[in-house]
Amino acid sequence: MTTDSTSTTPDRMDLPVARQPIHPILVSFSIACFVGAFITDIVYWRTVAVTWETFSIWLITVGLILAGLAIIAFVIDLVGRKHIRSLTWPFAIGYVVAVLLSLINAFIHSRDAYTAVVPTGLTLSGLVIVILLFSAGMGSALVYRHRIGAST
């Protein structure tokens, strides 16, 4: 069996998942989790059913994990393409801020009773959504307009 030096194994994190890089896909799922957490926070605020608060903390946790994976994938891609660093800083900074606020939000949600969500948890959930949507918009512009992270 011979090995070919021109193998098709990618050397970056933009593995072709439906011909798309991985970090925008992970970003989309993390945004969905944070939007879900915001919705369940609103429902908890209106109904005071503890189940909704539990849903919120689970969604925040999954969103944090996915956002962390997206950041790792983005950093790997950033290191692989050093000439585009100036375009990516707003995108990266937005995600770091969102993840830190989400981490604080997870700690807020881990408290007992109504104050675990209202008003601080609800406010943080909304703020994280705004930051992630802004960052995702910038990220999609990087991927689809400037072809950063996309296989060429």
The answer to whether the predicted template modeling score (pTM) of the entire model surpasses 0.75 is no
Provide CB contacts within 8 A for 28, sequence distance 6+: 136
For 61-68, what is the mean pLDDT? 91
- The reply to whether 14 falls in a domain is no
Residue for token pair 């945004």: 31
Question: Following DSSP, what letter does each residue of the chain receive, concatenated?
Answer: ----TT----SSS---BTTB-HHHHHHHHHHHHHHHHHHHHHHHHHH--HHHHHHHHHHHHHHHHHHHHHHHHHHHHHHH-GGGHHHHHHHHHHHHHHHHHHHHHHHHHTS-SGGGTTTHHHHHHHHHHHHHHHHHHHHHHHHHTS-TTS--
- The reply to whether 44 falls in a domain is yes
Range of the domain at 43: 22-144
Burial call 10-30: b when 16+ CB within 10 Å, e when fewer:
eebbbeeeeebbbbbebbbbb
Predicted pLDDT at 139: 67
- The reply to whether 102 falls in a domain is yes
Predicted pLDDT at 91: 72
Predicted pLDDT at 82: 47
Average pLDDT of the chain is 78
- The reply to whether 9 falls in a domain is no
Number of structural domains, the chain? 1
- The reply to whether 29 falls in a domain is yes
**Residue 71 pLDDT more than 50?**
yes
Give the span between the Cα atoms of 141 and 148, in whole angstroms: 9
Provide CB contacts within 8 A for 75, sequence distance 6+: 92
- The reply to whether 6 falls in a domain is no
- The reply to whether 150 falls in a domain is no
Do 81 and 148 contact (CB within 8 A), yes or no?
A: yes
**Residue 135 pLDDT more than 70?**
yes
- Reported confidence tier of residue 116, pLDDT bands at 50, 70, 90: confident
